[in-house]
Amino acid sequence: MIRLVGVLVVIVGLGLRLNPLLVVIVAGFSSGLAGGMGPYEILEAIGTAFVTNRYMSLFILTLPVIGLLERHGLREQAELFIMKLKGATAGRIMLLYMLFRQATSAVGLQLGGHPTFIRPIISPMAEGAVAKGRELPQSVLDQIRSMAAAAENYGNFFGQLIFIAAGGLLLIKGVMDQAGYSVDLLTMALYAVPTAVAAFLLAAVRYTMFDARMKKLSLKGEEERR
């Protein structure tokens, strides 16, 4: 049971709303000590993993581009663009983006991402479709932004394994090979399709409901102003 001490630290620490970085340090040290490592060994493990995983933060390079475009009205333009489109709702924009993300990752293209698509384009478009020129309170903005960020994750997760050379499939193959089962990549890719379709249908329901909720909200807002 002592082996689970790190997990316990994470659950309690995040539950107490402590800073996640602090929680991770304490959890890492307690887990490492429980696993029989010395303090310097633990520091080495943290350093090695941190350096190996620098690729996760390469998106930093996109920030000057996105930032400068925002200075010149990128978000405002995305809002304007959507307001001119008839029938464009926040939910439909996000669902369409999810489909685009699923379809492109199913053929092995990693087109997409929160810094390159959601922040500069998809989220402002969705916000514009809801706001229609009005100011939105932060709580409503948060709801729209969370749904927009989720569209990226749904499309990415429930599309990528359809690609026959996906990293995830190769990992499955590796684990199964090691256990003495030879598995076929094409079969696996094929059986990722039902989940992908189900995810899209479920998302379609959720984004439609989201549109209904936003509509109700804007009707209420208009009544209050009257």
Selected binder of another protein within 15, 16, 51, 86 (CB under 8 A): 51
Residue 76 sits in the site that holds another protein (CB under 8 A): yes
How many Å apart are CA 105 and CA 108, to the nearest integer? 5
Selected binder of another protein within 12, 47, 85, 212 (CB under 8 A): 47
Residue 107 sits in the site that holds another protein (CB under 8 A): no
Q: What is the 3-state secondary structure (H, E, C) of 178-195?
A: HCCCCCCHHHHHHCCHHH
Residues 6+ apart with CB under 8 A from 74: 66, 120, 121, 124
The nearer residue to another protein, 20 or 221, going by C-beta atoms, is 20
Residues 114/151, Cβ–Cβ less than 8 Å: no
Residue 64 sits in the site that holds another protein (CB under 8 A): yes
Residue 101 sits in the site that holds another protein (CB under 8 A): no
Stretch of 58-66, 85-93, 216-224 contacting another protein, by CB under 8 A: 58-66
Residue 102 sits in the site that holds another protein (CB under 8 A): no
CA 190 to the chain's CA centroid: 24
Selected binder of another protein within 83, 88, 164, 206 (CB under 8 A): 206
Total residues interacting with another protein, rule: CB under 8 A: 116
The nearer residue to another protein, 48 or 221, going by C-beta atoms, is 48
Residue 81 sits in the site that holds another protein (CB under 8 A): yes
Residues 131/75, Cβ–Cβ less than 8 Å: no
Nearest to 215 by CA among 144, 109, 121: 144
The nearer residue to another protein, 135 or 223, going by C-beta atoms, is 135
Helices within 53-118 (DSSP H only): 63-71, 74-84, 90-106
**Cα torsion angle, 10, 21, 118, 218, sign:** positive
Coil, strand or helix at 84 = helix
Residues in region 161-190 near another protein by CB under 8 A:
161, 167-169, 171-172, 175-176, 179, 181, 183-184, 187-189
Residue 44 sits in the site that holds another protein (CB under 8 A): yes
Minimum separation from the CB atom of position 53 to another protein (A)? 4
Whole-angstrom CA distances from 97 to 25, 128, 139, 154 are 37, 16, 23, 10
Site string for another protein, 116-155 (x = CB under 8 A): xxxxxx-x--------------xx-xxx-xxxxxx-xxx-
Written as one letter, the residue type at 106 is A
